[in-house]
Structure 1
Amino acid sequence: MASLPKDLSDALDSVLGRFAPADMTRSVQNLIQQYREGFDPADTVLGSEIDVAAYAGYRMPATFAAISTALRHTAEMAPGFAPRTHVDVGGGTGTAIWAATGIWPSLESVAVLEQAPKAIALGKRLAKRAESPAVRDARWEQAVIRGTVTKPPADLVTMSYVLNELPPDTQEGVVRSLAAQARMVVLVEPGTPAGYARISAARDVLIDQGLSVVAPCPHDHVCPIPRDRDWCHFSVRLNRSALHRQIKVGTLGFEDEKFSYVAASAQPWARAANRVLRHPLKRKGLVSMRLCTGGEGVTDEIVSKRHGDAYRMARDVSWGDEWPPSTGDGSEE
């Protein structure tokens, strides 16, 4: 079960402790209403300190869990990738830079591009409590995302939960600009049919830009999942703190964050043979998995006790994992 790293959790608790939980809950409900009704991307939605704090308390744990999972799967497929520079576009309060430095300690210089001044201010405040020097010394730049993104060259470029806020006719240009002068691009969107559609379109753009898909797909071919019947997404379970439950008006001590993502690299890496597309069905002596394969599209595979070591590995496999698990030696294709 995923959770925030202690330094980020402590920093967030310190910030949230300045406001009454009931006030943050009201702020969150107002923000949700604004997102449902739609808004101009140039508008500053997070315009007050309590709005930013409430949104951070509401979304940072789930966003961190999703981004960390996507980046971990990326790192597993590209074990020789050791980025030194990272740019996060539309980074809000900086969730992605915390996640990335947890996956790649090699990061030395990180930058966050964000349009809301109050979000930048809170992100800086949280970053001061980070154990990672790269997060503590992060550069924060105010920027509005339009048809393109002006950013410095970077080994790693990320953008999470932002495409859904952009007009459809601008998304392709934004993705193309993200890929420019980047060694690795990772995009994350909500795990909904619409979120997957945006990721699928972005995947096509990245491939057209000459990048090679690293994860989750085991190929660069057209996605074999029929759009009208299913969509590619993954799930991560995360802990909810007492305050997190109160802000969300929830009773469960956990939640499941569903997300879609794509990671693409300027250099090819050895691919996963298959990717697990759903929670494997595990029964006594048998594991059934739905897989996206490198050459046969979507298939179902059953592993039983008679398969020996394969069965023992299958008992530990989870939704989103590669199958079979690889050791990864850092080599390229």
Structure 2
Amino acid sequence: MNASLPTTEALRGALAALLDGLPPTQAAQAVERLIASYRGDTPTDAPVLRDRSDVAAYAAYRMPATFEAVRCALGAFRDAAPEWVPRTHTDLGGGTGAASWAVAEAWEDADPAPLTTVVDWAEPALALGRELAAASGVPALRAARWQRSRISAALRIESTDLVTVSYVLKELTGNDRAALVTEAARAARAVVIVEPGTPDGYARVIEARDRLVEAGLTVAAPCPHSGACPIVPGTDWCHFSARVSRSSLHRQVKGGSLAYEDEKFSYVVATRFPVRPAPARITRKPQIRKGLVLLDLCTADDGMRRETVTKRRGPLYKASRDATWGEQWPPPEEPAPGAPAPE
């Protein structure tokens, strides 16, 4: 594969090549079984991904969406810490490595690129992840290490700059979840946790967020503060949306006709170094009305509130019409030409 391809295109090409020899019916059946498994009780005595057919179906079904969700979380992280670059990265429960592809893209211009270690229990997932990385043409992915280990309370992590945990916590018992987050907080300078954008996924993120803060980390995103979440439990949940492009093969496996889908996710990023969180975060799709825009915000000072932006506010009104769900508000100001970069 051409090494000059952007990471997103490289992933799409790698997955297309992977599905090329897999009968669509077989892939669809494997996807349906995996969906049923993930919606039920996940077994603790065997990996959900048992063989290459399972892993290929999983990669086609989940990698693009997981990649986009983690990519969005890392984008918010980079807004809060634009000068910080991880030298090492550990992807816990990384499976075929979707989060590692997002990390490779986020710091694609870093020299050296982050050295990634993907840790997972399922050897078929690791083997396929290694194969996809090798075919990517992305140096950071081709240099990644793939380590088989049970994701449990007994796991110990070497000191690392960045830990990602994406769509993993649901598969663990409560004790294992708590221990894993505590161990990540101990070992890493920054922790990124992504879960499905459902009420129970949000609850797991909040549980992890509280544990990270208790361990002394600072919330970098999406929250504009490290205090308690202002959402009253059971009344709502904080989540965001990432647009996922589908290839024709992806649409065939997913059984959909649209050229895209929207992945709902919840996340938290916490660090052991100073960051500049967003002054406020847009928590719902902006509502554009005649002459005004309604923004639902989470703020550092007022908690959850709605802001009305009218034409009278000039450039801010224009910015509000272009604003999207999940972005910080107000938008960051562009530095003046020749102005020094913030320290």
Structure 1 residue 149 displacement after superposition: 2.9
SS in 1 for 2:284: coil
Report the equivalent of 2:3.
none
Residue 127 of structure 1 is aligned with which of 91, 114, 133?
Answer: 133
Residue 54 of structure 1 is aligned with which of 52, 57, 61?
Answer: 57
2:42 equivalent to 1:39: yes
Residue 324 of structure 2 is aligned with which of 293, 303, 318?
Answer: 318
TM-score scaled by length of structure 2: 0.93
2:174 equivalent to 1:168: yes
2:198 equivalent to 1:192: yes
| Superposition pairs of residues 272-291 of structure 1, within 5 angstroms | 272-291=278-297
Q: Which amino acid aligns with 2:182?
A: R
TM-score scaled by length of structure 1: 0.95
Report the equivalent of 2:251.
245
Q: Which amino acid aligns with 2:159?
A: P
Q: Which amino acid aligns with 1:214?
A: A
Structure 2 Cα separation of the partners of residues 170 and 236 of structure 1 = 28
Structure 1 residue 4 displacement after superposition: 6.8
Report the equivalent of 1:295.
301
Report the equivalent of 2:26.
23
Structure 2 Cα separation of the partners of residues 59 and 41 of structure 1 = 21
- On the 8 A contact 1:4/1:61 being kept in 2, the answer is no
Query: Which whole-Å deviations, capped at 9, do the CAs of 1:177-209 have from their partners, x for residues lacking one?
Result: 011131110000000000000000100000001
Report the equivalent of 1:79.
82
Query: Which whole-Å deviations, capped at 9, do the CAs of 1:63-119 have from their partners, x for residues lacking one?
Result: 111110111111111111111111100001000111011011223311100111100
Structure 1 residue 331 displacement after superposition: 4.6
Report the equivalent of 1:63.
66
Report the equivalent of 2:14.
11
Q: 1:296 to 1:148 in 2, by over 3 A?
A: farther
- Give unmatched runs, 5+ long, in structure 2: 1-5
Q: Which amino acid aligns with 2:25?
A: A
Structure 2 Cα separation of the partners of residues 247 and 4 of structure 1 = 22
Report the equivalent of 1:228.
234
- On the 8 A contact 1:189/1:195 being kept in 2, the answer is yes
Q: Which amino acid aligns with 1:196?
A: Y
Q: Which amino acid aligns with 1:150?
A: R
Q: Select between 247-256 and 271-280 the one with higher mean Cα deviation.
A: 247-256
- On the 8 A contact 1:85/1:108 being kept in 2, the answer is yes
Q: 1:257 to 1:38 in 2, by over 3 A?
A: same
- On the 8 A contact 1:149/1:178 being kept in 2, the answer is no
Residue 306 of structure 1 is aligned with which of 309, 312, 327?
Answer: 312
Structure 1 Cα separation of the partners of residues 221 and 84 of structure 2 = 14
Q: Which amino acid aligns with 2:317?
A: Y
Q: Select between 128-137 and 227-236 the one with higher mean Cα deviation.
A: 128-137
Q: 1:186 to 1:122 in 2, by over 3 A?
A: same
Q: Which amino acid aligns with 1:73?
A: A
2:110 equivalent to 1:99: no
Q: Which amino acid aligns with 2:117?
A: A
- On the 8 A contact 2:157/2:187 being kept in 1, the answer is no
- On the 8 A contact 2:286/2:293 being kept in 1, the answer is yes
Q: Which amino acid aligns with 1:98?
A: W
Structure 1 residue 296 displacement after superposition: 0.7
Q: 1:330 to 1:85 in 2, by over 3 A?
A: farther
Structure 2 Cα separation of the partners of residues 243 and 173 of structure 1 = 39
Q: Which amino acid aligns with 2:223?
A: C
- Give unmatched runs, 5+ long, in structure 1: none
- On the 8 A contact 2:118/2:144 being kept in 1, the answer is yes
User: What CA RMSD, in Å, does the superposition of the two structures yield over aligned residues?
Assistant: 1.6
Structure 2 Cα separation of the partners of residues 255 and 148 of structure 1 = 37
SS in 2 for 1:278: coil
Residue 218 of structure 1 is aligned with which of 224, 237, 245?
Answer: 224
Q: Which amino acid aligns with 2:52?
A: E
Report the equivalent of 1:207.
213
Q: Which amino acid aligns with 2:302?
A: E
Q: Using the aligned pairs only, state the percent identity.
A: 46
Structure 2 Cα separation of the partners of residues 295 and 189 of structure 1 = 26
Q: 1:330 to 1:297 in 2, by over 3 A?
A: farther
Structure 1 Cα separation of the partners of residues 302 and 342 of structure 2 = 25
SS in 1 for 2:86: coil
Q: Which amino acid aligns with 2:186?
A: A
Structure 1 residue 148 displacement after superposition: 4.3
Q: Which amino acid aligns with 2:43?
A: D
- On the 8 A contact 2:7/2:104 being kept in 1, the answer is no
